[in-house]
């Protein structure tokens, strides 16, 4: 799979079940509109934070080391990260 410039694969893959669960979270975040509640709570940002955190925690559960920021997940289930991390 070809990754966007600046991202590298880790060689570690989520299980099929994990990949499906995490993709559902990402799709939900993509579809969540930006809604400000009381001028300060961004519902879309919260959805992305949940998705990013879930992928990162799953990567750590697969014994990947802690990094700055978050691990991502490629469509084939491989955990990805920023080059140089």
> Does the residue 75 lie in any domain?
yes
Domain that holds residue 11: 7-82
Average of per-residue pLDDT across 80-85: 90
Whole-number pLDDT of residue 23 = 95
Tell me the pTM. 0.86
Domain count, the chain: 1
Q: Tally helices (H) and strands (E) across the chain.
A: 2, 5
Q: CA–CA separation, 25 vs 29, rounded Å?
A: 6
More confident residue, 45 or 38: 45
> Does the residue 49 lie in any domain?
yes
> Does the residue 46 lie in any domain?
yes
> Does the residue 54 lie in any domain?
yes
> Does the residue 1 lie in any domain?
no
> Does the residue 2 lie in any domain?
no
């Amino acid at each position: 799979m070809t990754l966007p410039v600046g991202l590298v694969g880790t060689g570690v893959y989520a299980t099929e079940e994990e990949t499906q669960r995490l993709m559902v979270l990402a799709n939900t975040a993509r579809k969540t509109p930006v809604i400000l509640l009381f001028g300060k709570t961004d519902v879309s940002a919260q959805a992305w934070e949940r998705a990013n955190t879930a992928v990162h925690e799953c990567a750590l559960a697969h014994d990947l080391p802690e990094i700055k920021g978050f691990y991502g997940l490629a469509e084939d289930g491989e955990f990805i990260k920023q080059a140089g991390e």
